[in-house]
Structure 1
Amino acid sequence: MDYSEAAERISRKFAKGGQTPDPKKIEGKLRRLVDEFGVQPSEAERSVTNELAKEYSLPAPGSGGGPAGGKGGGTEEKKIADGVPGEWVTIEGKVVGLSQPASPSIAQSGIIADESGAIRFVVWAKSNAPVMAEGAWYRIESAVVDEFKGVANLKVHSGTTIKEINEDRSLIPTPTPIKELHPGIGCVRAKFIQEWDASHDRMLQSGLLGDETGTIKFVIWKEPGKESLVPGAVYNLFYAAVDEFNGRLSLTLNAATILQEEGEIAVSGGEAAVTGAIVHIAPGSGIIKRCPVEGCNRALSRQNYCPVHEIQPKFVYDLRIKGWLDDGEKTHNILLQRDAVESLTGMTLAGAQEIAENNPLGMDEVFLQMRDKVLGRYITCHGREIENRVLVNKCDKVTFNTTDHTALLNRAGGAPS
């Protein structure tokens, strides 16, 4: 796009009516819309034209005399669910969640909702917009609906007007079954069924949620005031961000409304059973120490350090095995929990603790003994397969079958003649 030429073209339209807009300012607005917001050049030119028409209280050029900023002016009032990326819209909604801005260029970010749905929003620092409060209703005029990774979001810029609505309207979110979630914003009722070790130092908690229709990964990033979920508890999670990566969905709960409730959910879906030989035991297997803080349960470092609660001298012992199971055609990443480890190895938590505290090698000796007991053993693992890892809650030992072994060798090297 030739910004200078487009700015001159817009300026000439208004010069015919006796107005003298600055072409340099027009050019700057066009550049910001196209380069910063990703708006299509033709839409950017139309939007700047309509914005100037509104400023001068003139009909938008080419609108047939209709009011600037009306339905032909690119800022049509819409329900949130009806916003289409590339449009300029006016919406009325409630700020249902705020999250920590990811960049100094962002003044505020969060989620705004109406009765039709919800959308993530970003307020640019350059916009000098008024600060919005969580729980309040606002009318947002002339904002841009953008798209990032296939998800619509609302951008508040310098041309956007924000006015608080002094009334509290009814807003009742409806939970969606996990299997019916799609990228955007979602509400679910789910049980916290599995906690995972933090994979990043900014991560407060991650794990697995489930309902009657399936399971989904969740993450909570470290922010002031954010608290961890309690394993085994049931939650209503309103307005959670639903993201997609490598074809899998996950929930980010930082801006969500989280309400714990009484009751139970019969979690289903994702069940797996894989049979093969254990061909690798990964570091971090054996006896481990976990954070004793209620609701945390993270694995500690050898120095008893929790990434959230720091040094924890009153740690709690636990057992696990991380490794690979090979079925002859595919290698499965497996994680055995305590009950499965005790059943498979014959080593109890109390026995492992005695070895760790009295043997010169300590926890390493537990790892070595477990590795010797299970490496090369044929087993069937039962559990849930999530993100290419089987979370094993039960193991069955498999009797060696020479016929199957011969068939496997024949597939690998060809049958002897």
Structure 2
Amino acid sequence: MDYSEVTDRISRKFSKTGHEIDRHKVEGKLRRLIDEFGVQPAEAERSVSNELAKEFNIAPAAGFGGSPAGGSGGATEEKQVADAQPGDWVTLVGKVVSLAAPASPAIAQSGILADESGGIRFVVWAKSNAPKMEEGKWYRLESAVVDEYKGVPNLKVHSGTTIKEIEKTDPLIPAPVPVKDLRAGVASVRAKVIQEWDVTHDRMLQAGLLGDETGTVKFIIWKEQGKEKLAVGSVYSIFYAQADEFNERLSLNITGATIMQEEGDIATASGGDAEVRGALVHIAPGSGIIKRCPVEGCNRALSRQNYCPIHEIQPGFVYDLRIKGWLDDGEKTHNILLKRDVVEALTGMNLDQAKEIAENNPLGMDEVFLQMREKVLGRYVACSGREIENRLLVNTCELMKFESGEHAKLLNRAGGAS
């Protein structure tokens, strides 16, 4: 696009009124609106012209607010949040239902704006010099830009956006959707905490699995001041969570969500939604008996020196059992994880027996690993559970009777036969 041509056109408009524009500044604003925000060139030209008209105290008469093709000018269309689509230039009235810590110095604020129709994520660029918004208050945002991130509409507040606080106290209580109906975007659910997992990042406070009677979904809470973990087995109403999609799987970021613990219980999707049969062809290091951090809510696996990456040395560790490995069904190798009760049932070795070996055998914890590997490596098993992020979290695992046909499949695969 020829930005100098648009800048020339804007310059000629204001020259007729006796005003000279800063061409470099104008061209920079045009580039930012079009390249960074994805605004249509005609809308970008109109926005910059309106901003200059305000700066020079010129009434928005014909020629300053219109498009270069002679289209109509005026204020951007006021819409409900749910109707804002990528590419729109909108005015929204909504309540700031949550604020998040900015992910970059270029961002002044980020969070979720909501009205009766739904919620939308917003970003206020630092360069916009926009007034700070407060959580729980209502605002009118004029001339904001809607773009798209991972297929989800996002609201961008730039230097041409006007933010006005409005007097409104209407409560917003969105209706939760069933877990199976979740889509990428802003969503609310009523669900039970089914599992808590080991976290995979130092900034992560908690990760696990939420579920209702229709299905399950991964959830994440990032470390921020005042954030607390959810209790396994408890039921929560979670309003305005961010549902993100990665590799065709959804996860709920509930860091900035409004969370209310509820009394009672709810039914959850039972059993696993995947069953795999095949041979255990690899038992990975880190299987057998392990030590976990005893700090409440942590539960991370410790190193051999009893070191937790978050809480450092933990002499008062807690023992646990697990098996990590590969299960080959003859066509595909599955990454599997077995928790303590499944390990005990499969190997016949309970936690007390494993502790006795670990504390009294010269090989210690390695002896538990070797004995478990001897019991299960190469055996045919049937595992059922839930496959999440390319790993099967096993709920049940049973030894199968040897089938020569299955063995032949694995041999053919290993030999490269078609």
TM-score between the two structures when normalised by the length of structure 1: 0.91
Match of 1:331 in 2: 333
- Equivalent-residue separation in structure 2 for 1:4 and 1:404 (angstroms): 70
Question: Are the structure 2 counterparts of residues 414 and 198 from structure 1 closer, same or farther at C-alpha, using a change threshold of 3 Å?
Answer: closer
CA contact (8 A) 1:33 1:44 kept: yes
Query: Is this contact kept in 1: 2:49–2:64, CA < 8 A?
Result: no
* Structure 1 contact 47–73 (Cα < 8 Å) conserved: no
| Aligned residue number for residue 189 of structure 1 | 190
Q: Distance in 2 between matches of 1:260 and 1:3?
A: 54
1:7 aligns with 2:18: no
Listed one character per residue, the Cα deviations across residues 319-363 of structure 1 (whole Å, up to 9, x for unaligned) are 110111111111111111111100111111011111122223222
Give the Cα separation in 2 of the matches to 1:224 and 1:305: 25
Gaps of 5+ in 1: 66-70
SS class of match (2:299): coil
Contact 1:53 1:59 in 2 (8 A): no
Change (3 A) 1:111 1:64: closer
CA distance in 2, matches of 1:344, 1:317: 18
Q: SS where residue 268 of structure 2 aligns?
A: coil
Corresponding position of 1:68: none
Q: Is contact 2:46–2:64 with CA below 8 Å preserved after alignment?
A: no
SS at match of 2:30: helix
2 CA distance for matches of 1:97 and 1:181?
Answer: 20
- The corresponding residue for 2:156 is 155
Percent identity between the two aligned chains: 73
Report the aligned-residue RMSD: 2.4
Deviating 4+ runs (over 6 angstroms)? 62-65, 410-415
Deviation string 1:245-303 (CA, Å, 9 cap, x unpaired) is 11111111111112222222222175222111100111221112223333333323333
Aligned pairs (5 A) from 1:226-245: 226-245=227-246
| Consecutive unaligned residues in structure 2, runs of 5 or more | none
Give yes or no for the alignment of 1:318 onto 2:320: yes
User: What TM-score results when the alignment is normalised by the length of structure 2?
Assistant: 0.91
1:37 is aligned to 2:37? yes
1:214 is matched by which residue type in structure 2?
G
Deviations 1:66-113 (A, max 9, x none): xxxxx9436222111111222222211111111111111111111111
Q: Which is worse superposed, 277-286 or 309-318?
A: 309-318
Aligned mates of 2:333, 2:343 — CA distance in 1: 20
1:5-404 → structure 2 map (5 Å cutoff): 5-53=5-53, 56-61=58-63, 72-73=73-74, 75-268=76-269, 270-404=272-406
Residue 313 and residue 411 in structure 1: after superposition, are their counterparts in 2 closer, same or farther (change >3 A)?
closer
Asked if structure 1 preserves the Cα contact closer than 8 Å seen for 2:46 and 2:65, the reply is no
Report the more deviating stretch, 133-142 or 12-21.
12-21
Q: Secondary structure at the match of 2:341?
A: helix
- Tell me the number of residue pairs that the alignment of Structure 1 and Structure 2 aligns: 410
Letter in 1 for 2:32: R
Q: Which one is further off, 162-171 or 279-288?
A: 162-171
Q: Which 10-residue stretch deviates more, 327-336 or 304-313?
A: 304-313
**For residue 171 of structure 1, what is the amino acid of its counterpart?**
L
CA distance in 2 between partners of 1:332 and 1:130 (Å): 52
- Cα pair 1:183 1:243 within 8 Å, conserved: yes
Q: Structure 1 stretch 324-333 or stretch 16-25: which is displaced more?
A: 16-25
